[in-house]
């Protein structure tokens, strides 16, 4: 009886952990697919407008209309193209059909583009569309219309979202494009354990997708699996209760082991060198987290972080990594006093004043100054002057921590915004060829360093060599290393640093970190 009760309790707990983790990952994939569709649709519309404007010197001539039709045929997502004035008077359109609509939102800027974005609804339809508008001249505009989420245009929700409860698609300023389900049942700003939930931004486009599903519905989908596991457990509960526990624990995808692993010191920082191509020396390091399991397997950050978030131990993970990193680097004060340590906090952990104070205490115990730590902040979405996020970032900067903006392309960076946040560095993660020189020149005048992260191919490296940016990191340049190996590499390339307290490790340095790309970065 005692064994049966223990088996029921254990199976129920592990089953719940497994279901929450697996279903949350599935929902996140679904929400990301919806948001990606919105991003692709908007960029398809901008390309269509570029082609129409570039290929036609005159507007609304018969040749112009025919060119618009041909361009639309090549587009996957554009439903209509219209030329009109600011008062809505139409001059011509790609498809000669009635297309009257009402505007649902203000015009929003598209990062790096002259076009603006607005939500509209055709008068003969209940489905909202996105209007991407290009200003032709003082009196005329040309607009392309696309679905805000093409994957939903079929009327069927993909994946786990089809289980249904709440699905919201909205602009980042709060204007709703789609709202399904009773919003009063679940608050995305104050989530609880009654639902699983996920959210995603549509890349640079100011659109957010959010979804939630009641945990009862999720459990029902996994009921057969639960009954099977429970049946096996009951058959073995007599003399094999320990074996059953281990079997179910393995089936729970490892989430219940992470907290124990952090406490045992199995989750450790790795250091990916940041190289100065002009000198061939190590400029610094980006900090990554890896789980070194007792069986010899090493799990990277893209596996660790979802587990930590799902089990509410993200702060424990971050503080553990910061303690180890700070102690690794504390001895560098004498040999490399100007080197900084780059740390990414993932979500909005730095909004928490108590967490920021914890970080300060960790650094003070290891005798390392706050200004040697640089926190990474996404360049998008931009935070308003009065927003909680902006205030939190400024609070970090005033406390002595460094700030680094992270962006996928140079066109995402607003240097006035970077200067307002007191950014020390800007990390560009993938597109190096366009606009990087100009960004580097302007940023250099402001005392902001430009670094290229995520260099994984020789094509990317060749692109960088055509620019004046020479601070880079990535797997092609150097892999992430444990502290001792990184120290050896630093000693070899930069010369032996000072030794302190008899430590046989060569001293080293770190620089601004970057967001995890390709699954090796953790939240720190």
> Can you give the pLDDT at residue 43?
93
Distance in angstroms (rounded) separating the CA atoms of residues 285 and 481:
10
At 510 the pLDDT is 35
So what's the pLDDT on residue 504? 40
Low-confidence ranges of the chain (pLDDT < 70): 1-12, 153-165, 182-187, 189, 222, 224-226, 228-234, 236-256, 331-339, 345-353, 379-381, 430-434, 496-524
357-396 exposure pattern, b = at least 16 Cβ within 10 A, e = fewer: ebbeebbeebebeeebbbbbbbbbebbeeeeebbebbbeb
Domains of the chain as residue ranges with CATH: 1-249 (no CATH), 255-492 (3.20.20.450)
pTM of the model: 0.47
Q: How far is CA 24 from CA 19, 50, 195, 214, 251, in A?
A: 8, 39, 10, 11, 16
Tens of pLDDT along 276-333? 888 888 887 888 889 998 888 888 877 887 778 777 888 888 888 888 888 887 766 5
Per DSSP, helices labelled H in 272-383 are 301-310, 314-329, 332-335, 353-365
- The H-or-E segment that residue 180 falls in is strand 176-180
One DSSP character per residue, 60-109 reads SSHHHHHHHHHHHHH-SS--EEEEEETT--EEEESS-S---EEE-S--EE
Which pLDDT score, from 0 to 100, does residue 514 have? 35
Strand partners for 341: 285, 373
Q: Is 83 exposed, middle or buried (0-12, 13-18, 19+ CB in 10 A)?
A: buried
- The residues, ordered by sequence, that sit 6+ positions from 414 with a Cβ below 8 Å of its Cβ are 379, 382
Which positions ≥6 away from 447 have C-beta within 8 Å? none
- Residue 361 in tokens: 């205490």
Instruction: Please name the residues in contact with 504: beta carbons below 8 A apart, sequence gap of 6 or more.
Output: none
- Interacting residues of 223 by C-beta distance below 8 A, sequence separation 6+: none
Quick one: tokens of 60? 């609304």
Residue 49: predicted pLDDT: 93
Element (H, E) at 50: helix 2-55
């Amino acid at each position: 009886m005692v064994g049966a009760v223990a088996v029921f309790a254990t199976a129920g707990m592990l089953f719940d952990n497994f279901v929450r983790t697996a279903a949350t990952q599935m929902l996140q994939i679904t929400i990301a697919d919806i948001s990606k569709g919105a991003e692709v649709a908007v960029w398809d519309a901008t390309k269509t407008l570029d082609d129409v404007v570039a290929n036609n010197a005159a507007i609304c001539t018969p040749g112009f209309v025919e060119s618009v039709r041909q361009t639309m045929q090549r587009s996957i997502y554009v439903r209509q193209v219209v030329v009109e004035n600011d008062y809505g008077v139409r001059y011509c359109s790609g498809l000669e059909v009635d297309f009257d609509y009402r505007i649902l939102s203000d015009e929003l800027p598209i990062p790096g583009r002259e076009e603006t974005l607005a939500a509209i609804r055709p008068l003969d339809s209940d489905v909202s569309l996105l209007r991407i508008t290009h200003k032709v001249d003082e009196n005329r505009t040309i607009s392309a219309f696309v679905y805000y989420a093409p994957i939903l245009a079929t009327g069927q929700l993909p994946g786990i979202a089809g289980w249904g409860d709440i699905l919201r698609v909205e602009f980042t300023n709060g204007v709703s494009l789609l709202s399904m389900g009773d919003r009063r049942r679940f608050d995305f700003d104050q989530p609880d354990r009654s639902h699983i939930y996920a959210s995603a931004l549509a890349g640079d486009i100011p659109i957010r997708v959010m979804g939630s599903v009641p945990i009862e519905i999720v459990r029902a989908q996994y009921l057969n699996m639960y009954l099977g596991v429970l049946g096996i457990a009951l058959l073995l509960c007599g003399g094999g209760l320990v074996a059953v526990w281990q079997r179910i624990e393995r089936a729970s995808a490892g989430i219940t082991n992470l907290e124990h692993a952090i406490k045992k010191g199995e989750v450790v920082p790795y250091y990916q060198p940041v190289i100065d191509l002009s000198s061939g020396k190590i400029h610094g390091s980006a900090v990554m987290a890896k789980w070194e399991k007792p069986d010899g397997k090493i799990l990277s950050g893209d596996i660790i972080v979802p587990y930590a978030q799902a089990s509410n131990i993200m702060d424990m993970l971050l503080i553990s990594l910061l303690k180890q990193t700070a102690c690794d680097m504390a001895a560098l004060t004498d040999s490399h006093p100007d080197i900084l340590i780059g740390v990414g906090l993932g979500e909005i952990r730095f909004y928490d004043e108590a967490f920021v104070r914890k970080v300060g205490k960790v650094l003070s115990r290891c005798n390392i100054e706050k200004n040697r730590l640089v926190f990474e902040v996404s360049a998008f979405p931009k935070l308003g002057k009065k927003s909680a996020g902006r205030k939190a970032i400024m609070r970090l900067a005033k406390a002595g921590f460094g700030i680094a903006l992270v962006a996928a392309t140079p066109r995402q960076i607003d240097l006035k915004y970077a200067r307002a946040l007191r950014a020390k560095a800007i990390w560009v993660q993938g597109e190096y060829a366009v606009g990087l020189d100009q960004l580097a020149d302007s940023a250099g005048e402001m005392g902001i360093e430009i670094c290229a992260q995520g260099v994984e191919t020789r094509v990317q490296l060749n692109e960088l060599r055509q620019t004046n940016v020479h601070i880079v990191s990535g797997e092609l340049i150097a892999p992430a290393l444990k502290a001792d190996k990184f120290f050896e590499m630093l000693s070899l390339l930069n010369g032996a640093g000072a030794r302190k307290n008899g430590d046989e490790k060569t001293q080293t340095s770190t620089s601004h970190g970057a967001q995890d790309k390709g699954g090796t970065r953790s939240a720190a």
